[in-house]
Amino acid sequence: MKEAGLDTQAGISYTGNTEKYVSAVQRFYKNYEKNRTKVEEYFAAKDYESYMITVHALKSNAKMIGATILSGYFESLENAARERETATMEELTPLVLKDYAALIEKLKPIGEIEDVKAADEITGEEAKKTVEKLLAALDDFDDEEAKKLAGVLSGYPFRLTQATKLKEAAAFIEDFMYDEAADMIRQIATAIE
Residue 190 has pLDDT above 90, yes or no: no
Whether residue 107 is found in the same domain as residue 12: yes
Per-residue pLDDT band for 2 (boundaries 50, 70, 90) equals: confident
pLDDT in the model for residue 119: 60
Per-residue pLDDT band for 118 (boundaries 50, 70, 90) equals: low
Whether residue 93 is found in the same domain as residue 147: no
Position with higher pLDDT, 130 vs 17: 130
For residue 66, the 8-state DSSP code is T
SS3 annotation, 82-114: HCCCHHHHHHHHHHHHHHHHHHHHHHHHHHCCC
For residue 151, the enclosing domain spans 124-189
Whether residue 20 is found in the same domain as residue 96: yes
Overall average pLDDT of the 95-100 stretch: 96
pLDDT in the model for residue 18: 86
Residue 182 has pLDDT above 70, yes or no: yes
Tens-digit pLDDT profile for residues 127-170: 899 999 999 998 888 888 999 999 888 888 777 778 888 889 99
Of 71, 88, 111, which residue sits at a domain end?
Answer: 111
Whether residue 85 is found in the same domain as residue 160: no
- Classify residue 119: in a domain, yes or no: no
Overall average pLDDT of the 108-136 stretch: 82
150: Cα separation from own chain's centroid? 18
For the chain, what is the domain count? 2
For residue 95, give the CATH number of its domain: 1.20.120
- Classify residue 1: in a domain, yes or no: no
Residue 115 has pLDDT above 90, yes or no: no
Q: How far apart are the first and last CA of the chain?
A: 26
For residue 16, the 8-state DSSP code is S
- Classify residue 162: in a domain, yes or no: yes
Tens-digit pLDDT profile for residues 21-55: 888 899 899 999 999 999 999 999 999 999 999 99
Collapsed DSSP state (helix, strand, coil) of residue 123:
coil
